Structure 1
Amino acid sequence: MITLETLTHVYPARRHQAARTAIHDLSLTIPDGTFCILSGPNGSGKSTLFRILCGLMLPTAGRVQIGGHDALQHPDAVRRMTGVVFQSPAVDKHLSVIENLRLHGALYGLKGAAFEHRLTAAIGWSDIASRLNDRVDSLSGGLARQVELAKVLLTEPRLLLLDEPTTGLDPASRRSFLVALRHLQRDRGMTVLMTSHVFSEAEDADSVAIMRDGHLLVHDSPRALKALVGREMVVVETATPTRLAAALLAELGLPALVHGDEVRIDAIPASGPDSGPNSGAVALIDTILQRWQPEITSIAVKQPSLEDVFIHVTGKTAVAEDSRR
């Protein structure tokens, strides 16, 4: 559905501000009918990429193909198959739910029986069917987000782009929204690309793409990405993380990643061919405690999560890099 080839975007120089390359030679393919989460730290290029995919910005160089169409040469064909949910609300809070939906439908020429048919399908999954005559500003954040999604679904898009759609939602509303979104994506065979900083949202995705400084670092399934970190890792919390990481490297030859007040070790040495699955980690913990226990607040073995993958591929705060700063 989405194919990006050597995409580059440079923001030109302005007064007191040098030119900045937001996306560097990025290539990415998202197959039709899949759910992809796009993540990355602030300034990674996600927002620029999202604007290019939405047709709000032309890239400096490269190719963008969506649904078999060249998005730069045939933007109208791409817009007809695309729905967008922006991070900022795009419904009128002073109008009722049905007024918002009718207004959006009218912009696409939907009225009468055609609108009613689309409306039934667009809200059938939601909790807003009994709130159609209520003003949007009387709804909870989760229900208001459902209105946003129902509005986009009126046009029956093949591709749905969402920019951090769960921002501001409580955990229960976030979960409800994502469950509904995933069901809709599977039932309708839509392709969904969603930006997010909440890694629990990506656990059920088909793939996760992580960017940093305009570069695509990894793009694979959640399971494959977790395998990059390993089966297990040792996480040490300490008031002196940089010093402890340096000591681990110097005395044990173990590279460690510093993240906040944590020292993360994923290259755990095996303790023998007949050892159990956690014996290497247990032996390492015992060694660390024997040598540096007074400096340690807590220490634990954990299975890698997608957040750990994110830190692993973007959190370049290892001792070796610190020494080059």
Structure 2
Amino acid sequence: MIRIEALTHVYPGRRRQPSRVAVSDLTLSVPDGTFTILSGPNGSGKSTLFRILCGLSVPSRGRVLIGGHDLLRDPAAARALMGVVFQNPAVDKHLSVTENLSIHGALYGLSGAALRARMDEALAWTDLDGRLSDRVDTLSGGLARQVELAKCLLTRPRLLLLDEPTTGLDPASRRAFLDALGRLRRALGMTVLMTSHIFSEAETVDRVAIMADGQLLAHDTPQALRARLTGDVVVIETDRPDALAARLRGDLGAGVIRHGDDLRVDEVPGGDAVAFLERVLADYRPEVRGITVKQPTLEDVFIHVTAEARAAGRGGVSEIPRGPTSAEEQQESAA
């Protein structure tokens, strides 16, 4: 459904800011009918890529095919296959649910019985029954997100693009939204590409793509990605991360990744995590605030592959900031 070939996008320099490569020679395929999550640290290029796929930005080089249509040469045909849910709400909060859907349908030439049938179809999976006449600003965050998705489904898209759609939702609403999305994808045979920073959301999807510094670092099934880390992961909490990291590298030969104020060792020397834990506590106990041994998760894989990429570009310094947020991604989109 999506084929990206050697895509590059460069933001031109300004008076006090040099030009910046946001996406670099990226090639990626998303097969028809699959669910892919795109993740990466701040400034990784996700937002730029999302804008290009939506047709809101023109890349500097490369090609994007949507359902076989060239997005640059035949944008109308490519966009006709898409539905898009942006991170920021794209419904009018002062209008009712029905009014929002009716206006969106009218923009696509739907009216009368055809529009009513499409609305019934788009709303069938939701919890909005009895709230169709209510203004959107009276709905909970989860229900408002359901309106967004129902609006996109009016046009029966073959491809659904979602930019962090669960941002701001409580855990129950997030799970309900994702469950509904999964059911709809299977029932309608849609292809879904979604950006997310919540790694638990990626555990059940078909494939996960990880970006950093504008490049694609990994693209595989969740199971295959987790298999990259063959042993346990040791997480060390400390008030002196730089000093302790240097000692662990020098004394124990451990490959250490700094993640915020935590230190992570996902390739334990000798392969025995418990023995390594005991050695750390015996030799460095005053510097350790807490220590955990756990099975690797997708978040651990994300930290591992992005830290490896940054280490390669920074003379071997493996460090990645904690918890990617959307703020820098929004700045990236505005660049």
- 2:64 corresponds in structure 1 to 64
Measured against aligned partners, the alpha-carbon deviations of 1:193-238 in whole angstroms (never above 9, x if no partner) come to: 0111111111111111111111111111111111222231111111
Distance 1:26 1:52 in 2: 12
Confirm or deny: 8 A CA contact 2:231 2:268 kept in the other structure: no
- 1:20 corresponds in structure 2 to 20
- 2:37 corresponds in structure 1 to 37
Distance 2:142 2:181 in 1: 12
Structure 1 counterpart SS, 2:130: helix
- 1:277 corresponds in structure 2 to none
Q: State the Cα distance separating 1:15 from its structure 2 match.
A: 2.3
- 1:289 corresponds in structure 2 to 281
Distance 2:131 2:301 in 1: 41
In the TM superposition, 1:1-325 aligns within 5 A as 1-270=1-270, 280-315=272-307, 321-322=316-317
Distance 1:323 1:26, change over 3 A: closer
- Name the count of aligned residue pairs: 316
Distance 1:291 1:320 in 2: 28
For normalisation by structure 2, the TM-score amounts to 0.90
What stretches of structure 1 move > 4 A for 4+ residues in a row? Answer: 316-320
Structure 2 counterpart SS, 1:131: coil
Distance 1:16 1:299 in 2: 44
Q: State the Cα distance separating 1:261 from its structure 2 match.
A: 2.1
Percent identity over the alignment is: 64
Structure 1 counterpart SS, 2:303: helix
Confirm or deny: 8 A CA contact 2:258 2:318 kept in the other structure: no
Q: State the Cα distance separating 1:321 from its structure 2 match.
A: 3.3
Q: State the Cα distance separating 1:244 from its structure 2 match.
A: 1.8
Confirm or deny: 8 A CA contact 2:10 2:60 kept in the other structure: yes
Gaps of 5+ in 1: 272-279
Measured against aligned partners, the alpha-carbon deviations of 1:48-97 in whole angstroms (never above 9, x if no partner) come to: 11111001111111111110111111111111110001111111111110
Cα RMSD, aligned residues only: 1.8
Measured against aligned partners, the alpha-carbon deviations of 1:120-179 in whole angstroms (never above 9, x if no partner) come to: 110111001221111111100110000000000000000000111111111111111111
- Structure with larger Rg: 1
For normalisation by structure 1, the TM-score amounts to 0.93
Distance 2:22 2:45 in 1: 5
